[in-house]
Chains A and B, each alone.
Chain A
Amino acid sequence: MSENLEQAVQEICQAYENDRGRLMDIVRAVQERFACVSGEALDRIAKHVGVHRVEVEGVVSFYAFLSKQPKGKVVIRVSNCVPCMMNGAERVAKAFAEELGIAIGETTDDGRITLEWTPCIGMCDQSPAAIINDQVFTYLSSDRARRIIQELRAQETPDPAKLVHKLGDGSNASDEIHSMVHNNVRQEGPVVFGPWTTGEALAKAVAMTPQEVIREVKTARLRGRGGAGFPTGMKWDFTRQAPGTDKYVLCNADEGEPGTFKDRVILTERAGLLFEGMTIAGYAIGAKAGILYLRAEYAYLRAHLEAVLRQRREAGLLGKRVCGKEGFDFDIRIQMGAGAYICGEETALISSCEGLRGDPKNRPPFPAQKGYRDQPTTVNNVETFCCVSRIIEHGSGWFSQMGSAGSPGVKLLSISGDVSRPGVYSLPFGITLAKVLERAGAEDPIAVQVGGPSGQMVGKDDFARTICYDDLATGGSVIVFGAQRDLLQAVAEFMEFFIEESCGYCTPCRVGNVLLAERLEKIRAGKGTPGDLEYLEQLGTMVKTASRCGLGQTSPNPILTTLKNFRSLYEEKVTEPVDGLQPAFDFSAAVADAESLAGRKSVHV
């Protein structure tokens, strides 16, 4: 067994040139082979790659899909994101567990199958959903869950791919993807899903100077489509001007904000458009290399993406002398993630690409100055790159005349929850939330989470507000809650998500979120006081102010925005202490141990 491990580790490390910067790929490959990265494997990897064992352990222990302890050859991960839970994810998980004869979080006695919860996998419009190894399973029910286990068990060698019997729409039915996932594009719109001609934008770009390309993107006033909304042209300008010989274009395909799944559809149907945008970026900033950081939950798309890259190389759209342009070489590789929402933060994404723990970096310097491997780097969202391609193809005027003055263009929204038409919608910025709800078929909405848990939960009073960067901002996620929903339950689940996903580097986020969740739980259990509401506001503000990165700066939002917009939900649950006694304090329970030790009852009644 040890010889087998040494042989395998040596081969794997060599395949990545014993490069410490490729540690993510190395540990992923070892996990794939041995269902874990054991202590022995840590030693051997450290030896081959030239780092200390504890550094490798640091990486393995950071990512949810890697483990020091062995998992089953088959890992079933059931999504527990709010839209999935709204549609019955708990019943599905329970059915899996009962059929397997284990609890969630455990592995079967024969060591073959592990069952776990996992946060949002980007399938909110077709929930409940799960991933089994790399395969995605959608529209699950308890019946289907049981049948899946029965089929898995009947297989000689477990092969989740063989469990896919009905294929989805569009390219989901292709040989490379071969998945039951559906695109559910309800409104194609003119930009990302509009008809396009491969290579046309790129040819136009290389006929301009890099500065002209940047000027066009600036004139279009394109802002980042991942959620933060930084002006793309400005970001590229900074990166272009920064001193450095090896610049990088990074695409953020980590799409982890719960309720967001529009990038998943772009990767499925418009991968070429995305790669074209990355190549144009490379030309504009003077980079030779691009990296697509793909979340592990979208591994089922990898073969398809590699195929599209191959096609583009064959067509001269990637590689040496791109589009025949002398001096412009550019190629793209795919970097897989391993289960960490924080790696959607641009500097954490860079850390992960560098084979490190997905901790965000200290700023300054910003990635435009010092990013991947300390080189000038631009990190942009999948949808942003697609918009660039279309802007170069059709001109900045075509793009900026759509949308609103402060937020030009259109936005892809991924709408899920209590709507009759969940899916992806291309809608102009400036559209009201009310109109969005109408389009998606919301029956009797009482609340909408705009922008995922990092965003805000708004009620009917705010439905007249608009989707744009300066009002109701979102990277795409729109989760709709009908009248029957327990909103504080959703808030509690959002807090659980942030606690699970915090990198833990800084005090306010690592500790503060746990404290916020504790107090919310106390309130929900009917043991809160009015003072607890003030406590939540003060603590939440403290966490927002002092946290080091966007996660901690937004994680209190589910609580703070519902305190603002749904205060009565909290107020009706809290009681003023009577006679100065805290409702959370149960005197009898507190003295129970002492009573049993002393052998008599306390006289406190």
Chain B
Amino acid sequence: MSETITFTIDGMTVPGRRGQTIMQAADEAGIYIPRLCARDGLSSYGSCRVCTVMANGRPQAACTQPIAEGMVVENDTEKLKEIRKGIVEMLLVEGNHFCMFCEKSGNCELQALAYRLGIAAPRFPYMFPERDVDASHPDVFIDRNRCILCGRCMRASKELDGKHVFDFVGRGAQRKIAVDGEARLAETDMAAADSAVDACPVGAILRKRVGYVVPVGQRKYDHEPIGSDIEARRAEATSSQSE
């Protein structure tokens, strides 16, 4: 069996390697598939479903679906855009996402993705759940109003920090992130420098005393839309081809 696998995304031929997921091959080729729970360096999880693509006519999560020779993938279609918008809107109404006073604004992947998808306001009714804030730890706080249950904190704590500070408890709509203690983050071995903090895509896990050191207007997604870094690889690839 050969190492290289060739498949197509929206009719464009993409080279890949055996063992890669659709998302991994797409990223390398500079094709952006929107995602929230996937993150370089962490195992794939498949919970947000934002990266849903059509693979050989079937909906699959690009982050968990391995590529296969001749696979036909649809990514940038109206139908899939609608689904992704719907999922992001579901996340926006499920929690309490008040961007106007959240210090993650401008660095937030949920917000940036909503802008990229052209969401002005969710079409679904807000749920206004009661969620808590845990500021017990001296250096890191959790605001569960903003948690999108992506599990990146859990995976980063296990896979990068060698700890197990976070994990899921509860079922269904009661599913949430808990800490490895009786109740509070202060009881765990969480440290300010943990990768688990950097892994959070939204303002649910934040370092204290950082705030607005980088002012609004100069933040990551103020400069360019989310996914631009991946799409830049295509420009590089084509420019290196023409040399």
Q: How far is the CA of A542 from the CA of B90 in the complex (A)?
A: 11
The residues of A that contact B59 with a CB separation of less than 8 Å are 545-546
Q: A55-B164, A507-B87, A508-B90 are in contact. Are A500 and B46 (CB under 8 A)?
A: no
Residue of B64, B148, B175 touching A505 (CB-CB under 8 A): B175
- Is B127 in contact with A58, judged by CB distance below 8 angstroms? no
Q: A501-B172, A548-B49 are in contact. Are A58 and B167 (CB under 8 A)?
A: yes
B45 closest partner in A (C-beta)? A362
B64 closest partner in A (C-beta)? A362
CB proximity of A256 to chain B, nearest CB, Å: 14
- Is B181 in contact with A53, judged by CB distance below 8 angstroms? yes
The residues of B that contact A518 with a CB separation of less than 8 Å are 125
- Is B178 in contact with A57, judged by CB distance below 8 angstroms? yes
The residues of B that contact A535 with a CB separation of less than 8 Å are 123
Q: A54-B164, A500-B172, A515-B124 are in contact. Are A507 and B181 (CB under 8 A)?
A: no
- Is B167 in contact with A52, judged by CB distance below 8 angstroms? yes
Chain B interface extent, by class: 35 or more
B63 closest partner in A (C-beta)? A362
CB proximity of B169 to chain A, nearest CB, Å: 4
- Mark B155-177 against chain A: 1 for CB-CB distance below 8 A, else 0: 00000000010111111111100
Residue of B46, B90, B168 touching A512 (CB-CB under 8 A): B90
Q: How far is the CA of A61 from the CA of B178 in the complex (A)?
A: 11
Residues from 536 to 563 in A contacting B, C-beta threshold 8 Å: 538-539, 542, 545-548
Residues from 5 to 55 in B contacting A, C-beta threshold 8 Å: 44-50, 52
- Is B173 in contact with A499, judged by CB distance below 8 angstroms? yes
- Is A54 in contact with B166, judged by CB distance below 8 angstroms? yes
Any B CB within 8 A of the CB of A504: yes
CB proximity of A344 to chain B, nearest CB, Å: 15
Residue of B49, B65, B93, B171 touching A546 (CB-CB under 8 A): B49
CB proximity of A496 to chain B, nearest CB, Å: 11
- Is B64 in contact with A502, judged by CB distance below 8 angstroms? no
Any A CB within 8 A of the CB of B197: no
CB proximity of B197 to chain A, nearest CB, Å: 17
- Mark B56-90 against chain A: 1 for CB-CB distance below 8 A, else 0: 00010100111000000000000000110011001
Any B CB within 8 A of the CB of A101: no
Q: Which of B94, B164, B168, B172 has the most CB of A within 10 A?
A: B172
The residues of B that contact A57 with a CB separation of less than 8 Å are 167, 169, 178
- Is A539 in contact with B169, judged by CB distance below 8 angstroms? no
- Is B180 in contact with A502, judged by CB distance below 8 angstroms? no
- Mark A491-527 against chain B: 1 for CB-CB distance below 8 A, else 0: 0000000011111111110111011001000000000
Q: How far is the CA of A546 from the CA of B87 in the complex (A)?
A: 9
A548 closest partner in B (C-beta)? B46
The residues of B that contact A539 with a CB separation of less than 8 Å are 86, 124
Any A CB within 8 A of the CB of B91: yes
Q: How far is the CA of A538 from the CA of B83 in the complex (A)?
A: 10
Any B CB within 8 A of the CB of A62: yes
The residues of B that contact A514 with a CB separation of less than 8 Å are 127, 173
Any B CB within 8 A of the CB of A39: yes
Any A CB within 8 A of the CB of B113: no
Any A CB within 8 A of the CB of B114: no
Residue of A53, A363, A364, A546 touching B180 (CB-CB under 8 A): A53
- Is A546 in contact with B52, judged by CB distance below 8 angstroms? yes
The residues of B that contact A502 with a CB separation of less than 8 Å are 171-173
Q: A54-B164, A54-B167, A55-B167 are in contact. Are A507 and B90 (CB under 8 A)?
A: yes
Any B CB within 8 A of the CB of A340: yes
Any B CB within 8 A of the CB of A357: yes
Q: A511-B91, A542-B82 are in contact. Are A504 and B66 (CB under 8 A)?
A: no
- Is B172 in contact with A503, judged by CB distance below 8 angstroms? yes
CB proximity of B233 to chain A, nearest CB, Å: 26
- Is A508 in contact with B94, judged by CB distance below 8 angstroms? no
Residue of B48, B123, B175, B179 touching A504 (CB-CB under 8 A): B175
Any A CB within 8 A of the CB of B149: yes
Q: How far is the CA of A63 from the CA of B175 in the complex (A)?
A: 12
- Mark A381-405 against chain B: 1 for CB-CB distance below 8 A, else 0: 0000000000000000000000000
- Is A504 in contact with B180, judged by CB distance below 8 angstroms? no
The residues of B that contact A504 with a CB separation of less than 8 Å are 149, 170-175
The residues of B that contact A357 with a CB separation of less than 8 Å are 168, 171
Q: How far is the CA of A15 from the CA of B68 in the complex (A)?
A: 46
Residues from 79 to 127 in B contacting A, C-beta threshold 8 Å: 82-83, 86-87, 90-91, 93-94, 123-125, 127
Any A CB within 8 A of the CB of B182: yes
Q: How far is the CA of A448 from the CA of B127 in the complex (A)?
A: 33
- Is A515 in contact with B90, judged by CB distance below 8 angstroms? yes
- Is A506 in contact with B181, judged by CB distance below 8 angstroms? no
- Is B49 in contact with A506, judged by CB distance below 8 angstroms? yes
Q: Which of A503, A511, A538 has the most CB of B within 10 A?
A: A511
CB proximity of A67 to chain B, nearest CB, Å: 12
The residues of B that contact A55 with a CB separation of less than 8 Å are 164, 167
Q: How far is the CA of A515 from the CA of B126 in the complex (A)?
A: 10
Q: How far is the CA of A363 from the CA of B66 in the complex (A)?
A: 10
- Is B175 in contact with A506, judged by CB distance below 8 angstroms? no
- Is B182 in contact with A39, judged by CB distance below 8 angstroms? yes
Q: A364-B66, A545-B52 are in contact. Are A507 and B91 (CB under 8 A)?
A: yes
CB proximity of A357 to chain B, nearest CB, Å: 7
The residues of A that contact B83 with a CB separation of less than 8 Å are 542, 545-546
Q: How far is the CA of A53 from the CA of B181 in the complex (A)?
A: 7
- Mark A62-81 against chain B: 1 for CB-CB distance below 8 A, else 0: 11000000000000000000
Q: How far is the CA of A447 from the CA of B46 in the complex (A)?
A: 37
- Is B46 in contact with A506, judged by CB distance below 8 angstroms? yes
A541 closest partner in B (C-beta)? B83
Residue of B123, B175, B181 touching A510 (CB-CB under 8 A): B175
Q: A54-B178, A545-B83 are in contact. Are A505 and B47 (CB under 8 A)?
A: yes
- Is A507 in contact with B47, judged by CB distance below 8 angstroms? yes
CB proximity of B153 to chain A, nearest CB, Å: 12
CB proximity of A362 to chain B, nearest CB, Å: 5
Q: How far is the CA of A337 from the CA of B17 in the complex (A)?
A: 41
- Is A503 in contact with B171, judged by CB distance below 8 angstroms? yes
A518 closest partner in B (C-beta)? B125
B46 closest partner in A (C-beta)? A362
CB proximity of B19 to chain A, nearest CB, Å: 12
Q: A54-B164, A362-B64 are in contact. Are A506 and B172 (CB under 8 A)?
A: no
B175 closest partner in A (C-beta)? A504
The residues of B that contact A503 with a CB separation of less than 8 Å are 171-172, 175
- Is A62 in contact with B171, judged by CB distance below 8 angstroms? yes
CB proximity of B33 to chain A, nearest CB, Å: 14
- Mark A351-376 against chain B: 1 for CB-CB distance below 8 A, else 0: 00000010000111000000000000
- Is A54 in contact with B47, judged by CB distance below 8 angstroms? no
The residues of B that contact A512 with a CB separation of less than 8 Å are 90
Q: How far is the CA of A55 from the CA of B170 in the complex (A)?
A: 11
- Is A510 in contact with B172, judged by CB distance below 8 angstroms? yes
The residues of A that contact B172 with a CB separation of less than 8 Å are 499-504, 510
Q: How far is the CA of A364 from the CA of B167 in the complex (A)?
A: 23
CB proximity of A349 to chain B, nearest CB, Å: 15
A59 closest partner in B (C-beta)? B169
Residue of B48, B65, B125 touching A507 (CB-CB under 8 A): B48
B82 closest partner in A (C-beta)? A542
* A–B pairs, 8, beta carbons within 8 Å: A54-B166, A62-B169, A504-B173, A507-B90, A510-B172, A511-B173, A546-B52, A546-B83
Given A54-B169, A546-B83, 4 more pairs with CB closer than 8 A:
A52-B164, A61-B171, A506-B49, A512-B90
8 closest Cβ pairs, A-B complex: A504-B175, A511-B90, A54-B180, A61-B169, A502-B172, A52-B164, A504-B172, A54-B167
